[in-house]
Amino acid sequence: MQNLKLFVTGHKGFETLLFHELRNILGSSAAVLSKKYGGVEINAGIDAAYQVCLHSRLGNRVFCEIAQLPVEDETQLYQAVHQIPWESHFSARNSIAVSATLSRSKLNHSHFVALKAKDAIVDRLREICGSRPIVEKNQPDIQIHINVHHNQASISLDLSGESLHRRGYRLEHSGAPLKEHLAAALLVQAGWDGSRGSCLIDPMCGSGTFAIEAAMISAGMAPGLKREYYGFKKWLLHQPELWQQCLQQAQEAVRKPDEILIYAADYDAKALETARANASRAGVLELIEFSHQQLSDLEKPAMAFSTSSENLVICNPPYGKRLQSEQGLAQLYADLGDASQRLAPARLAIISANPDLLHRLKLKRISRKNVRNGPIECLFAIFETVEGKQANAISEHDIDTRPRAAVDEIAMPLRNRLNKNSKHLQRWARNNGVSCYRVYDADLPEFSFALDRYQSEIAPEVVWFHLQEYQAPATIDKKKAEHRIRVAVDVIKDLFSIPDEQLFCKTRRRQRGTEQYQKQDSQNEFYQVREASASLLINLSDYLDSGLFLDHRITRDIIYRGAHDKSVLNLFCYTGSIGVQAGLGGASSVLNVDLSANYLKWAQENHRLNGLDDEARYRFLRADIIELLDHPDRYSIESDFDLIFLDPPSFSNSSKMQQTLDIQRDHSALIGQAMKLLTSDGMLLFSTNRRGFKLDDDILQYHEVRDISHQTLPEDFKRNPKIHRCWEIGHKI
């Protein structure tokens, strides 16, 4: 049997799952498989191609390479394609289509390459056969694909004909469904194998893709059984009898599970009709129980889930690029989390284009994977619902007894200091109800970084560490500094027994303007932590800072205790933690002001998370604060405020501002203007982390001022008493 060089493509990022699937499909055959970027290469006979086309759930295309030649210009391309013996693959009576993909090559126009290759094929067959094949874009007899990479052309036949995700059952859909092969990959990633005793529910089933693919897996039904069109059927090397044998074996392998294990629900009756029709065409209608219900009403199916951990809830919620673009999207995530918890014990697998809303599930996440669904960047995350959660937090007594990585003499002092700090701060934190605190702040000169510890409110046994490396001065050798931070990372992971995904590392360079607030990444993933009575969201990946300044823990408590029945103005509000504490403290009203739309959205989400969603009491204003203080009437700010919090950046030259801000130069004017908005017996809290800052004499002369910097310094920051300065300022009586 002729040996073929096949390349099976799949969804980017799922090459490993595709490799294992293909290895299982081909079993003990002589096929040789190797994983590549974008797919899996197979050296095997034509029977392997048939089996892959018929059985692969994760595959997309099956290419059979017939030539690989260098091409650097259109002449060389034409000659390379023209010399291939196309007459041994198809006749002039067949229809053809030619496609091309290019990367890092001198030829840079894929449509031109496809046309030039088509001309070469047609010309050769006309010369040899006296006639030419016709070009047909829709389901041609033969599909030819040319991939040019680094000026090397791989010329292949597409044996799948069209994408294998087209199973033939989904003639209708609702909304923007997942492609079938991506849905299957996500099911496999979530651990679904359809084994006896496991159950699955899709509470937002839409056109039913997840449920149908899961049912086909449970029934051992080859996904290609319903397809009529393949790219090999008119290929001259096609072996119809062998193909029929493969079909017969696939049909005989279909089994009917003993009981219904798969449930699909949706609030949209029309979507359910579509899903049922698709399931009927797929031949799995009897294996799925459909129900029309709201997510908030979702309960365990009539045949309740088993008590094992094999139960799976999986869904593809509506997408919204912004929270405002989808009515009720945030509430939908909260309802999904509640519904999933009612189905415990189970795992929830969700593909989301809004990872910033995943915290609303209030479930413990156990894995994550970046996934592209068409043009949309998504996150596929798996969460755990447990009946009677048990925390497994690391005890301070466990730290010294954990297995240690080999450490050199450079690492040992750091390890000892981190161990000492951690023991002391764990006791202090436990006694004071603190779950997020600073563990280390450049205590040792040779290890210049800060390390913060955050504990999940949703799953208290989960902690994250946030390492911020201070940029080494020019006098320090760069390689030496890089080595030391790598040593620090190893020590932290080993000492606290945490995996890579629970340690986030940043470099805190000397920054100007708004750089400290600008994004460094775009994962948009938030974690929920607790501070006193407040639930707050942090982001450990996208910004230099997490969104919660831990050194202001006591300052926020002052606001909380002093806000009852007070009107509060929160200037430069950042992520709104001050506003949240004021609201929880019983403020009569809170106005949060910032120039950043992203931070205002974050602040709004923090307020909603704490039930502070009365729009009349808790307001958010996007404004240049310098302009606002100069002209409050332009922003309809007329009433006086009982409590004002003012914590500006040290310096800002944002293009959105009408002028630059230098806190040392401008603080007197800022405070003076803010005091005009303060009631006669009100209080302004002013804070800055500007090193070497000196309060202007005019402020001391015209206002009552009390330095509370020392009182607002938390236990975990006492090693760095200059972390911030803070004053209470009132009117002179």
Domains and CATH numbers, the chain: 4-158 (3.30.2130.30), 180-220+255-385 (3.40.50.150), 396-510 (3.30.750.80), 535-731 (3.40.50.150)
Return d(Cα 230, Cα 243) in angstroms, integer: 11
Lateral strand order in the sheet of 142-149:
32-36, 39-44, 4-10, 59-70, 152-158, 142-149, 95-103, 134-135
Residues linked to residue 61 through DSSP beta bridges, in sequence order: 9
pLDDT at residue 510 greater than cutoff 70: no
pLDDT band at 326 (very low <50, low <70, confident <90, very high): very low
Residue 343's pLDDT is: 86
The conformational region for residue 82 under phi > 0 = left, psi -120 to 50 = alpha, else beta, is alpha
Start-to-end Cα distance in the chain: 100
> What is the rounded distance in angstroms from the CA atom of residue 728 to the CA atom of residue 385?
46
**Which stretches of 442-510 are assigned E, i.e. beta strand?**
449-455, 463-470, 503-508
> Once rounded to an integer, what is the mean pLDDT over residues 281-299?
91
Sign of CA dihedral 548, 550, 552, 556: positive
Q: Which of 528, 493, 547 is nearest to 383 (CA)?
A: 528
Rounded to whole angstroms, the Cα distance separating 332 from 495 reads: 39
Q: Kindly give the pairing relationship between strand 463-470 and strand 449-455.
A: antiparallel
pLDDT at 176: 63
How does residue 624 score in pLDDT terms, banded at 50, 70 and 90? very high
Which pLDDT score is estimated for 596?
93
d(CA 237, CA 719): 77
pLDDT value, residue 506:
86
What is the pTM for the complete model shown?
Answer: 0.76
Amino acid at 448: S
Confidence of residue 345 (pLDDT cuts 50, 70, 90): confident
Of 274 and 398, the structure prediction assigns the larger pLDDT to 274
Helix (H, G, I), strand (E, B) or coil at 571: strand
For the segment 182-197, what is each residue's pLDDT rounded down to a tens digit?
Answer: 999 999 999 998 887 7
Q: Is the pLDDT of residue 285 over 60?
A: yes
- Residue 11 clears pLDDT 70, i.e. is over it: yes
- Asked whether the predicted pLDDT for residue 50 surpasses 50, the reply is yes
Backbone angles phi, psi at 298, to 5 degrees: -65, 130
703 Cβ neighbours under 8 A, 6+ residues apart: 671, 675, 729, 730, 731, 732
pLDDT confidence of residue 478: 77
Q: How confident is the model at residue 388 (pLDDT cuts 50, 70, 90)?
A: low
What pLDDT is recorded for position 514?
43
pLDDT tens for 704-718 read: 999 999 999 999 999
- The pLDDT tens digits for 512-522 are 444 444 454 55
- pLDDT of 396 over the 80 cut: no
Query: What is the Cα–Cα distance from 187 to 183, expressed in whole angstroms?
Result: 6
The pLDDT, as a whole number, for residue 271 is 92
Q: What is the mean pLDDT of residues 64-82?
A: 95
Q: Which residue has the higher pLDDT, 639 or 49?
A: 49
> What is the percent of the chain with per-residue pLDDT over 70, rounded to a whole number?
90
What digits encode the pLDDT tens for the residues 199-223? 999 999 999 999 999 999 999 999 9
Identify which has the larger pLDDT, 158 or 301.
158
Task: Tell whether the model's pLDDT for residue 320 goes beyond 70.
Answer: no
Question: Any idea which of 7-11, 355-359, 416-420 has the lowest mean pLDDT?
Answer: 355-359
pLDDT at 402 over 60: no
pLDDT digits (tens, 9 = 90+) for 430-475: 999 999 999 999 999 889 999 999 999 998 989 999 999 987 766 6
Percent of the chain at pLDDT > 90 equals: 73
Return the closest-CA partner of residue 263 out of 201, 309, 311.
201
Whole-number mean pLDDT of the chain? 89
Q: What is the pLDDT of residue 407?
A: 43
pLDDT surpassing 90 at residue 302: no
**pLDDT at 544 (0 to 100):** 86
Q: What is the mean pLDDT of residues 592-597?
A: 95
Q: What H or E segment, with its residue span, contains residue 707?
A: strand 703-707
Among 62-71, 259-268, 655-664, where is mean pLDDT lowest? 655-664
Q: What is the pLDDT of residue 658?
A: 62
Query: Does residue 297 carry a pLDDT above 90?
Result: no
Which tokens belong to 367?
């894995």
- Does pLDDT of 657 surpass 80? no
Q: Is the pLDDT of residue 296 over 90?
A: no
> Cα separation of 145 and 60, whole Å?
14
Residue 399 scores a pLDDT above 70? no
